[in-house]
Structure 1
């Protein structure tokens, strides 16, 4: 069992974090489906952009431009937004998007950047990091 911590560095403020108490990826035959839950709101400062009711990525396969697994029959999110991700509806979050330099990142980048919309709607991040670690015994439910 693993924990996922995401660090988000906006261009104009301090690092924000989002942490999830349960994280796993399925294997290749399952298209690397994301298994994520237990958003830790007590320590997270960026909001929940992966498992919220608005756009829940739990159980969603990883989409690329040539393997479209998002929930939209009329669009290919990975192709449209230039990067692979666990897209549902193009999107609440996208940390593999284009790198947009400040000051453009502080403007509405129309979903083309590194986005975590529960924190900064349509504003691209300067830096993002996704880290996983094994749960300690006392952390397991």
Structure 2
């Protein structure tokens, strides 16, 4: 579960396996590099984003976005993505151009709905999500869409076993 304030999302720095991993969710505690750190990295060059996914049956998918950037605090860490390739399906583009929402900053595009409260996670929400890798970590099928999910891979009601977001300069 990833419910943090805007300040915590800005400042968070966790132990990483390799300098390029910016988010990992697995049976171990989830980690997230923090929006300020991701902005600083992606503002000094051209980066691509790769996301690896795995379900509880061992099936894997990946998504690559040829351009990846996170804006600074004044833009509320706006997500910018380029073209997609991969096997996971292009679910994340739905959130392209969105500001990062936290429990104390509702920046989603869904009037009257607080996506962070509904989906139990800070994220780049549009009218909530097609991707929620900061959601609740559960095993497999769920009756709610607040779990770690990638809609075009297993749908909004299936909690993935493993997700890793990585960036590299190109």
Correspondence 1:3 to 2:38: no
1:63 Cα deviation (Å)? 0.5
Residue of structure 1 equivalent to 2:41: none
Structure 1 moving runs of 4+ over 4 Å: none
1:13 Cα deviation (Å)? 2.8
CA contact (8 A) 2:95 2:129 kept: no
Residue of structure 2 equivalent to 1:27: 72
Q: Structure 1, unaligned stretches of length 5 or more? A: 136-141
Correspondence 1:124 to 2:162: no
* 1:31-62 superposed Cα distances (whole Å, 9 cap, x missing partner): 0000002101xxx11111111xxxx2111000
* 1:68-97 superposed Cα distances (whole Å, 9 cap, x missing partner): 011111111011111101010111110000
Q: Which has the higher helix share?
A: 2
Give the superposed CA RMSD: 1.0
Q: Which residue of 84, 88, 108 corresponds with 1:46?
A: 88
1:109 Cα deviation (Å)? 3.6
- What is the TM-score of this pair, normalised by structure 1? 0.84
CA contact (8 A) 1:109 1:124 kept: no
Provide the rounded CA distance (Å) in 1 between the counterparts of 2:158 and 2:73. Answer: 32
Residue of structure 1 equivalent to 2:112: 74
Provide the rounded CA distance (Å) in 1 between the counterparts of 2:138 and 2:143. Answer: 8
Q: Structure 2, unaligned stretches of length 5 or more? A: 1-45
Distance 1:109 1:19, change over 3 A: farther
Provide the rounded CA distance (Å) in 1 between the counterparts of 2:95 and 2:152. Answer: 14
